[in-house]
Amino acid sequence: MQTDFTEVKRSSIQVPTTDCLGRAILRVLPKLEFSSGPGGVSVSQIELKQQATSVAKHGHTGFLFPGQGSQYLGMLSDIASEEAVISDTFAEGSDAVSLDLWSLAQNGPAESQALTENTQPLILAASVALYRLWLQRGGQVPSVLAGHSLGEFSALVAAESLAFRDAVKIVRLRGQAMQAAVPVGTGAMAAVLGLPDETINTICADASVDGNTQVLAVNFNSPGQVVIAGHAGAVGHASVALKEAGAKRVLPLPVSAPFHTPLMQPAAAALNEALEHVELADAQIPVISNVNARPHTDSTTIAQLLVQQVVAPVQWTSCVETMIEMGCADFVECGPGRVLSGLMRRIDRSTSCYAIESPTAFSEALNQPSEVPIV
């Protein structure tokens, strides 16, 4: 796999993009500017200082927001029966998109719940509802946020960069545009288990004949778990080669659109246009971008990265590693399901990750003692 390096301007030093560039670096490299490389987004020393200050101020808790695939019928029903903020948030989201999200969450049908244009606002509403409850119950403000694909929008709502009503509308449009970008049957995705990233990248490159027959690694979810996507034929050829190379399993995913590939360019263009009509504020809490696994607070940069994310791989393993390097030892999975908690165990077993979708799990996470940050 090609390693993305960050160029430190006015210096010959090179630092890996996934480096958190914490307080120690800020002390010894004054007045330097950092460029994210291929992402084309720069991070100044001032912004990095602000992010380090946020970690010191808020403690060492990182919040993780799930993406598509974490939904299920009846999600959040138990906790909603005890906490009005859950149903209130769903009602607000439903009003924004003229769709009864709570009924869809509880009653489905599953086929409608699985439609991308419905799934995305559904998961966002559930994630924001739990985050609002967390704050309402006196939970610690997280030091840094990250969301897996769609979950990045939930993170931006939590960071007060994007208004909830705007976010619900945007992700519904995003879902519609992603599904419409490629005719049904043209694209495919598959999960690959048990091979190094470098091997998967090499095999995908060999299976990609040209721009009209492409397959790429698009989700680096954890060590040994990667999702590939692209033209259906190329995904099929790569899947056979990956099995021959020793993959434990290669599992076709029940989706027809090859998310996070260049084939999604029409969807990226639609999202870019939609974001031009939405007010984005600077994030009050750093949000790790899926594109370059770096923390960002600048609203212009965030908008650019959201558009890039549609056609770029999700660097989830690197995102989590960046949060750990920033000082996070405890994590909260804020949304339906426990997918990200499972990935966390594969990325770094020394951390704690609490899924908070049920009343019992929520209370357990809320009552965990927080560490005193080291400044």
Catalytic residues: 149, 260
CA dist., res. 147 & res. 320, Å (int): 10
Tell me the backbone φ, ψ of residue 171, rounded to 5 degrees: -75, -30
Instruction: Name the DSSP letter for residue 253.
Output: -
CA dist., res. 72 & res. 293, Å (int): 28
Extract the tokens encoding 251: 């599992």
* Burial category of 269 from C-beta neighbours within 10 Å (exposed 0-12, middle 13-18, buried 19 and up): middle
Residues facing residue 213 across a β-bridge: 210
Walk across the sheet containing 215-222 and list its strands.
Answer: 215-222, 225-231, 187-193, 249-252
Q: Contact, 326 vs 295, CB < 8 A?
A: yes
Residues facing residue 192 across a β-bridge: 226, 250
Q: Which residues contact 198 (CB under 8 A, 6 or more apart)?
A: 1
- Per DSSP, helices labelled H in the chain are 23-28, 45-58, 77-80, 84-97, 101-107, 110-114, 116-136, 151-158, 164-180, 197-207, 232-244, 265-275, 299-311, 316-325, 339-347, 359-366
CA dist., res. 252 & res. 236, Å (int): 9
Q: How far is CA 202 from CA 206, 208, 225, 233, in A?
A: 6, 10, 16, 17
Find where tokens 């954890």 sit.
222
Radius of gyration of the chain (CA): 20
